[in-house]
A and B are shown apart, each in its own frame.
Chain A
Amino acid sequence: MGIVDDDRDHPTEVDVIIVGAGFAGLGMAIRLARSGEHSFLVLERGADVGGTWRDNTYPGVACDVPSHLYSFSFLPNARWSRVFSPGGEIQEYLRRAAEDEGILPNVRLNADMLAGTWDAVGQRWTVTTSGGVYTGRYLVLAAGHLADEKLAQIPGMDSFSGELFHSARWNHDVSLEGKRVGVVGSGASAIQIVPAVAHQVRELVVFQRSAPWVVPRMDGAYTEAEKRLFERAPETIQDLRNDIFWTFEQQYAARRKIEPFFSAIRKFATRHLHDQVPEGELRRRLTPDYDLGCKRMLISSDYYPALQQPHVTLEASPLAKIDGTTAVSAAGNSFELDVLVFATGFEAAEPPFAHHVTGKDGRSLAAHWAAGMHALNSTAVPGFPNMFVLNGPNTGVGHTSTLFLIETQVEFVLSAMAHARAGDIGTVEATSVAEAGYQQEVRDRSAGTVWVDGGCKNWYVDPRSGDLTVIWPDFAYVFRDRNGSFDPDGYELVRGEVSA
């Protein structure tokens, strides 16, 4: 039975409002529904569920953590086509998950959160969206940290007479056939786009600010026999997940710069470069000048070969200005282009949604985070009672699946709600002291890691504070052991009427 929305004067009332219908929001919704809680709504600004995987449809898009780990533990999928499944398949998985779990009636699409405000009297969150007004006891922000594209402002951008778009807003109406195409950036998206489009374009220029570390991509299609085994003996999926998980966990040692692991992975990546790119200028340009892991380590077996095609140019310099059809690099080289793709990443450190959320003292979450994101248990923020942030501060991982952390947070939120319900508690709020302690703990954990000490400028460190705010700088299992279930210590719990 769905929730029927009222008109604007009478906001729809539910227990839990979730903002965002990506992996995090849908995961939260599914786990809520499975736990018997049906009074929730998922507010999504887009026209479909899926988040990242709805938005990123660029040629070559795929996950770079094996699909069997990069999916919900509670919704294994025996039918993944490949080790690294294409983005469309992941989007299909998410859409089907929402449908099969019966939560679509609770999803409001085209509902952009314009304001989320804590009402101290009513002890509720009111969320005003482009589609309607909603109130809930709890607000779960699952608005993503790679959801808002970063479109660097390049001088002369408006003068570009060709087609220009961001990789997460791919314009499929534009044919690249026979065109001169520029790709700005050499990160996780660019490295998938370049090999996927190289064969159809006339010329391809990649503007590289800094060379990425790349290791081989051990991809492969699952056979029908394997898929059927997964179906018939689902425990084999969990075994595989555990295996991938623990193997990946070992990579943390290298991120912590522990020898011999740190040198070993660097050697492995260097050998990949040397195997695929002969000695010379191109290899020199592709040799990173910072510690592996400081920026996301990429996986690809066809990026280096793609760059060596005669019509492909690696410009080892960022795009600096645009003049009509001419794109000029900072090094001063000009390229005539018909299409410019900005594979320039996302607003991760300063999430736009934070400007729209206001806590109990009338301050916005963005103001609270003026010196960088932080939250107790990476999830709860003082001054913002009954609010939880998923995939927010210190939840990103460079060495394993983000979903492992997201799922941990979902269970944390469920256990916090259960705790409140059991104790007739009206509001749950992180204390500033506990939150500061947690922030210090994260700082201590990050010391000596490649993210803060790796000789690169990355988007994991907030430039305003120098703190590592995006990444969880330890083993993923430590995140689960530390933040897997609600511990009232560090929280202010206020008794209150438990409605609904």
Chain B
Amino acid sequence: MIVDLRRPRMLSVGSFEVGIVDSGEDHEDQAPILLLPGTGGSTKRHYGFVHPMLSLRRRVVGVDFGPAPSPDGAMSLDDLRDQALAVAEDVLPGRRFLICGYSLGAEVAALVAAERPDLVEGLVLVGGWLRSDAHQRLRNSVWRTLRREDSAALRDYMTFCAFSSAYLAARAPEELERLPERFVLGDLIDQHMRLTPTIDLTEVVEKVVAPTLVVGCSLDQMVPPRATKQLFGAIADARYAEVASGHAIHTERPAEMLRLVEQFASEPTGTPAGSILRGITA
């Protein structure tokens, strides 16, 4: 049996066009999951493995954030929150749901959870951070300089930042060559990259009451586990898991990411707040 992925469609939210990828069977007793991708990404790119596998057992809705209509258009975290909530309202009216955000999507997810405790049953933050700090801003500024200069090094720089050294070192030459080509450069990522250095969730996440799973990537050079762990400290009902992966966990360790999301989704309060979850020792 092949999963019936309902036809992806678009939704207008203010001046944004948002993509919706809705799949999996809905069960009354099981909260659906909303998936929010990261910087410049999409459901397919950031949940390419997790999304279809998750939807074998439950309803899963991917939100593909749209770019602001004008290339210089500023974008705020609130814009992204609005898009996520609009999709939820459209696809899952009146339903409570779990929300899983990756990278920038984690920032959005945390904001949604903080503001809409009535809707959010559980929160998963993968590769997220509490507030953009000097390290984050430095990387961001290098990226924007390379982008402005249309540098030939930009894609390599993104590859260098996204993947762990272990992952890169283990790739075959053909595979290595293809990695930099994966990044989509355009308005969406430009707008996201302007937004990220300004993020500060310090006060926002104090309002998060939903049970939360924070997932750090131990080999992440973009959002180091140090930054992700701050969310673990800041959110009252949080538990923490770490995966030996670079920021591109969706590519390096997607099955492990699936395990964490699925396990948490099946019982968000299965472990007490403050727990550090043990991974599989193969």
Contact = CB atoms under 8 A, between A and B. Distances in A.
Contacts of A258: 2-3, 52-53, 56
A257 to B, nearest CB: 6
B277 to A, nearest CB: 12
Interface stretch (A242-250, A308-316, A382-390): A242-250
Does more than half of chain A's interface fall in helix, strand or loop, or is it mixed? helix
Given A250-B49, A252-B255, A475-B255, A480 B280 contact: yes
Contacts of A241: 282
A69 interface: yes
B282 A481 contact: no
Given A241-B282, A481-B263, A246 B53 contact: no
Contact of B281 (A242, A249, A481): A242
Interface in B263-282: 263, 279-282
B201 to A, nearest CB: 29
Given A256-B56, A258-B3, A73 B255 contact: no
A477 B166 contact: no
B135 interface: no
Interface size bracket, B side: 20 to 34
Contact of A259 (B2, B170, B263): B2
B131 interface: no
A447 interface: yes
Contact of B1 (A238, A242, A246, A447): A447
A258 B139 CA distance: 36
Nearest to B166: A243
A245 B280 contact: yes
B272 to A, nearest CB: 18
Nearest to A401: B282
B253 interface: yes
A234 interface: no
Contacts of B281: 73, 238, 242
Interface in B236-282: 244, 253-256, 259, 263, 279-282
A245 B282 contact: yes
- Choose among B49, B53, B280 the residue with the greatest number of A CB atoms under 10 Å from its CB: B280
A480 B2 CA distance: 26
Interface of A: 69, 73, 238-239, 241-246, 249-250, 252-253, 256-259, 261, 404, 447-448, 453, 475, 477, 480-481
19 contacts: A73-B281, A242-B279, A242-B282, A244-B282, A245-B280, A246-B255, A246-B282, A249-B255, A250-B254, A250-B255, A252-B255, A256-B53, A258-B53, A258-B56, A259-B2, A259-B52, A447-B1, A480-B280, A481-B259
Interface of B: 1-3, 49, 52-53, 56, 166, 170, 244, 253-256, 259, 263, 279-282
Given A73-B281, A258-B2, A481-B259, 19 more contacts: A69-B282, A238-B281, A239-B166, A239-B244, A242-B280, A243-B170, A245-B282, A249-B255, A249-B256, A253-B49, A256-B53, A257-B1, A258-B3, A258-B52, A258-B53, A259-B2, A261-B49, A448-B1, A481-B263
